[in-house]
Amino acid sequence: MNLTGAYSGPAATDFGNLAIQTCGMQPSVAFVSHILAKQAAGGATIGYLNPHLYNCAGRDDVVRAYLERCDLVCIDGIGIVIAGRLAFAQSLERVVATALFEAIIDRLTVLRTAVLIGTTADEVTAAAAAINQRSSGLEIVGTADGYLEPDDYRRFLARHSNVDAVLIGAGTPTSIHISMLASSVCPDALNWSIGAGTIKIFAGTKAQSPAWLSRIGCEWLHRCVLEPHVRSRIFPGVPEFVGNIARSLRARQEHIPHESTDR
């Protein structure tokens, strides 16, 4: 996607075996705000990366291809930040998906329309109402739950093909399949995976972790206590992630040419 304007946008970054476009919180806010304010032709795709998604990308070429075609990948997992620093000598800034979404809807001054997809029918309806009440710049004009068939999503998106944004939070890999479908049905819309947790927080069915806990990168601990279904991301998820990072690091080292000792 080719965007113009004076703002700082995502930069090409290799993380492990992924080639992604990423940046910190403030550049991300500027990037998304630019898209929604200027309505740049061709839309854009925004995703996020955490250890769970990195593991999925190692098993599923569709997930990998999706992440690598995103115009912005938000680093939404402290494990990615730690692995980047320790394994690849990278300084990556964490961008929490919910925090980015809140920053955008609170600063929008031009009215934009969107559809919201994900979680249960009751949750997505409640979240849409809460977003509309909070934001004067974003109006949710349609909702769909995260348990429909692909043809149902295609018909839903076709009915709303003129929206400015498609907001998705249906879990992995469902969100990715919906996002790829949205790119074809609504090619000029901002295609944004905001995360199922974001929808649940706005719906009031999920407690948002304390700000101080999120700042120190321990939001995962809060989730483990209150959301038993995510515990599998810790075990066996963490050992799998460490193994994937180790293999990526070893592959990089094997491809680094050794300095000649000839004199």
Distance CA 231, CA 203 (A): 22
Are the beta carbons of 184 and 157 closer than 8 angstroms? no
pLDDT tens for the chain, residues 1 to 263: 544 444 568 999 999 999 999 999 999 999 999 899 875 546 899 999 999 999 999 999 999 999 999 999 999 989 999 999 999 999 999 999 999 999 999 999 889 999 999 999 999 999 999 999 999 999 999 999 999 999 999 999 999 999 999 999 998 899 999 999 999 999 999 999 999 999 999 999 998 777 777 776 777 676 677 777 767 767 788 999 999 999 999 988 887 654 444 43
Say if residue 150 is preceded by a cis peptide, omega within 30 of 0: no
The SS3 of residue 39 is coil
First to last CA, the chain: 48
| Dihedral sign (CA 150, 138, 99, 89) | positive
What's this model's pTM, rounded to 2 decimal places? 0.89
Residue 250 burial by Cβ neighbours in a 10 Å radius (0-12, 13-18, 19+): exposed
Are the beta carbons of 95 and 76 closer than 8 angstroms? yes
Alpha-carbon distances of 44 from 100, 132, 251, rounded to whole Å: 16, 22, 31
